[in-house]
Amino acid sequence: MTLRVVPVTFAQAVAFIDDWHRHHRPPRGHKFSLGVADGDVLVGVAVVGRPVARLLDDGQTLEVTRVAVADGARNACSLLYGAAWRAAKAMGYRRLITYTQNGESGASLRAAGWQVVASRPPTAGWSRPSRRRADHGVDGIARRRWHAPAT
């Protein structure tokens, strides 16, 4: 298997996430998306956008909002995380973050040089009395926030 980073459109990334992501729906938007191919076959995608948490949306930070890879695509996640950080830096961003759910190892992030910077407790969800929102099946799960390497 010879993996290489390839450009993908947002529509291609969304279709891939629909087919392969274990527990999340595709995001609604992005700043950019990346793919990983084995030959001519797309085996993984990453979607990078503005931080979901509004307090982190400072104009200098982006968030990897989804990564999805096909079964058996070894090292594709690490390749995507590394490529996403290189692309974000080239665009002038100073920080790239992502989250893992409690129970996920983060092996691909560690392999790409990322570090855990915060543990977030479970929340009741995004719904507030002033703005009701639907539960998407991931509320009440603890998460860890990761930062890309500083260099």
Continuous segment of H or E residues that includes residue 48: strand 41-49
Inform me whether the pLDDT recorded for 108 exceeds 90: yes
Q: How far is CA 73 from CA 45, 70, 103, in A?
A: 11, 6, 21
Query: What is the span of the domain harbouring residue 28?
Result: 3-147
Give the span between the Cα atoms of 35 and 103, in whole angstroms. 26
Q: What is the mean pLDDT of residues 20-27?
A: 73
Q: Mind listing the pLDDT tens digit for each residue in 111-125?
A: 999 999 999 888 777
Amino acid 139: pLDDT:
67
The proportion of the chain whose per-residue pLDDT surpasses 70, expressed as a percent, equals 92
Count up the domains in the chain and report the number: 1
The CATH number for 22's domain is 3.40.630.30
End-to-end Cα, the chain, rounded Å: 29
Residues 6+ apart with CB under 8 A from 67: 44, 45, 46, 47, 77, 80, 81, 98, 108
- Look up residue 76 and give its two tokens: 């594709």
- In a 3-state reduction of DSSP, which class is residue 55? helix
Residues in the chain: 151
Give the span between the Cα atoms of 45 and 43, in whole angstroms. 7
Amino acid 123: pLDDT:
74
Q: Mind listing the pLDDT tens digit for each residue in 82-93?
A: 999 999 999 999
